Chains A and B, each alone.
Chain A
């Protein structure tokens, strides 16, 4: 598994894929949303670990696959994922702008 956050990462969010269709989802308020813009952002290491713990209840009823933390950075327009990989997950394939989340983005 690739490294999704650098050691000194300040802001992080939690992502996973949904069981029934594999859709990329983000943790927010004890639930999951499809749009990265709505993802809950943790500030600092402790907050990040707490966020991941809340996102990873260990029971069969959870239909979310392999939640993990990834680094985001703050800019004028809010937060964006740091890595190319997480940007692609948040939007869709860069070679098919008609597919993935970017296709339905307003």
Chain B
């Protein structure tokens, strides 16, 4: 894992000290709220419905056991005993008091963490594939360039006042688990015919009020030119992005209004200017220095098959179910990637208690080469677990309600905090996720349905990714009452698509029935081996609409 150098340490501790002074001055009445608000937002502090919310950055979703243990400590000491993992691989605390946040940030800094780049119109915390470095057939660990992008983007003076926020995601694998086509910039690491590594750059994706799939602006940016290319994109956006209307200020609108070809031309023109100076070329030594932090850990040399693991599967049906959904093949023989579901049946998606976070930190330290990952689907991952140890890990997870065997199934939905917490929300999201997972609790039923991703947002900002849910649910407010619009056919993977709205919105008490109708319609229509998304793409909206609005 990356370790801070002296510059990183100084940047983070200086920032905490500055913020402490700002908080003190605000509390003493020396500065106004208007002056203070942008400062607190730059430090990840939002005001929500009931309290302040602090969003802590987890760069590219990677945590050490020590860092995870710190999250448990913060949840206990400064919050109400839990944290919420988000669709941007971050963690949020829902109840910290403003006057205690500087102390909290001091403690975070002691484990090389902070809340910088989690708010405001800057380049936000970079996200990446949660299986980075562990999955087979990866071209390069995406965390290497994610870390380089982090260093380049943190406090980048030219990009500290962009028209709007800016999100970058990276995958090093052909199967996209980082939703790169729904980001302002999505990067796919590729290899050319000469065997060289480079980057495919997608620009202008995003959700919110106007959702767009990103356009591929470059097929192959050579490794040493990546920052020059990104800087060119940022510069075009910073100059031409709209500042007259915050709903039209994201780069997706610029790309849409400018057109893909013209946008590519503008970026290339800017790129050639930057490139001619060679100023932003990445020195090979620096690339290697960063890459060394993400060098593969010391795996033991093990047989591909573990006898104890195979025997445990045969003797324990529940374990075997869990393995089927939650364990993914590792690139190294004798290892597996363990997914920890934060979606217990009827639970709150993405929430983990302090005790659970401590357990996960211990498991990471003892069994997973000291690493934990956060997924954008609000689950956690132990990336390197020996197959010999998987049963033991499973048993410990089971004892702490962390072994729900539902990754990728209908009960593994994404939900934003919604109107239960969020100041922007129009409707609640969490109760729907809870009702749907309770309704489909039966595991055999879930297996029969197969892969089905439900994504729920409490407002059009789409933090719950409803546009790209196989079934998407969007909460809307009609005169103070909650209604829910349903969409079908969205997807956030390498074949990204935006969902189509079924029609009139449903009242809260009708949503589970509507989802049930959609699922039953799919089960009736599907052909062998078809997942929900395949069936939808084959038959289209009509048959679903007919059943949903039959009366």
Contact = CB atoms under 8 A, between A and B. Distances in A.
Interface residues of A, number: 28
A106 interface: no
Interface string A49-72: 000000000001101011000010
A21 B97 contact: yes
Given A20-B98, A65-B33, A88-B49, A6 B479 contact: yes
Tell me the dominant secondary structure on chain A's binding face: loop
B348 interface: yes
B80 A99 contact: yes
Interface string A1-45: 010001000000000010111111000000000000000000000
B244 interface: no
Given A24-B49, A60-B30, A63-B29, A95 B419 contact: no
B27 A19 contact: yes
A82 interface: yes
Interface in B58-100: 80, 95, 97-99
Contacts of B159: none
B421 interface: yes
Tell me the dominant secondary structure on chain B's binding face: loop
A85 B80 contact: no
Interface in B1-50: 26-27, 29-33, 47-50
Contacts of A17: 47, 51
Contact of B48 (A21, A22, A63, A99): A22
Interface stretch (B193-201, B218-226, B422-430): B422-430
Given A17-B47, A60-B30, A84 B419 contact: yes
B434 interface: yes
Contact of A89 (B49, B479, B480): B49
B365 interface: no
A57 B41 CA distance: 24
Contact of B427 (A19, A24, A66, A84): A84
Contacts of A23: 50-51
A84 B481 contact: yes
B99 to A, nearest CB: 5
B419 A22 contact: no
A99 B98 CA distance: 18
Contacts of A99: 50, 80, 95
Contacts of B98: 19-22
B27 A93 contact: no
Given A88-B419, A95-B434, A22 B480 contact: no
Interface string A74-100: 000000001111001100111110011
Contacts of A65: 33, 47
Interface of A: 2, 6, 17, 19-24, 60-61, 63, 65-66, 71, 82-85, 88-89, 92-96, 99-100
